[in-house]
Every structure is written in C-alpha cells, then in structure tokens.
Amino acid sequence: MSYVDGFVAAVPTANKAAYIEHARIAAGVFRAHGALEVVECWGDDVPEGTVTSFPMAVKCQPEETVVFSWIVWPSRAVRDTGLPKVMADPRLQPDTNPMPFDGKRMIFGGFDMVVQES
C-alpha cells in the first residue's frame, strides 16, 4: 500500500492566498520528486477541544486557521528518496518561497496506509 505524510499547522488567516500559492508550488515539487497526490485543506469546522484538538495541538491563535494536509507516496522507499530532493529543491527554499506560517508549530509524520476504500 501507499505511504502518507500528514501535516497540521496554524496559518494566519490573512495569509490564506499566500498559503494556497505556496502549497501549489510545493505540490508541484513533491509530485516532481515522486509523490502521487498532495491535498491541502483550509479549516472550516475545526472546534477547540477541552482535552485535545487540532487548534490546541498547533497552538492556534484567534487570527489563525488550522490547515490539514497530506501527501501520498507510492511507498516509504519512494518518500525516503524523494523527500531530501524536495527539501533541496530551489523552488522551496525560504528565500524563494517562504512559508507563510510558523513552521515550528506544524505537526507532521509519516504513516503506513492500512485501509483505503474509494
């Protein structure tokens, strides 16, 4: 089965257009280096929890919106080969395409896909 990298971040709501442009460029880079699919989702109904929640996890501030994203790779091996190339790609360097959010509060991880139904 495929391999998935998942991300949750808090993005300043005023930076929505900049985030979408950044994400479009990044999606092309990830696909060029082996990713099958890149999905970016802008929070619409993301409630604050009492014990845990997406907003709490990324320390979302009132002027920010939670985003939820994932990248599908054919396998962990393809991801492990492609990801360093993505990070080195000139199109994603901070001076060329700065992240329009605080990357230190982003949560991310890699996951083995165990069920996929369409």
Q: What is the three-class DSSP state of 30? A: helix
Segment 62-73 shows an average pLDDT of 98
- What pTM did the predictor assign? 0.93
Work out whether strand 64-73 and strand 3-12 pair parallel, antiparallel, or are unpaired. antiparallel
Name the pLDDT band for 35 (thresholds 50, 70, 90).
Answer: very high
Segment 91-110 shows an average pLDDT of 93
pLDDT of 87 > 90? The answer is: yes
Q: For residue 1, what pLDDT is reported?
A: 83
Residues 6 or more apart whose CB falls under 8 angstroms from that of 47 comprise: 53, 55
Q: Any idea which fold 3-45+53-92+108-112 has?
A: Alpha-Beta Plaits (3.30.70)
Q: Which of 22, 3, 27, 2 is nearest to 11 (CA)?
A: 22
Q: What is the DSSP letter of 15?
A: G
Each domain of the chain, given as residue ranges in start order, spans: 3-45+53-92+108-112
Q: For residue 97, what pLDDT is reported?
A: 87
Q: Which of 50, 55, 56 is nearest to 66 (CA)?
A: 55
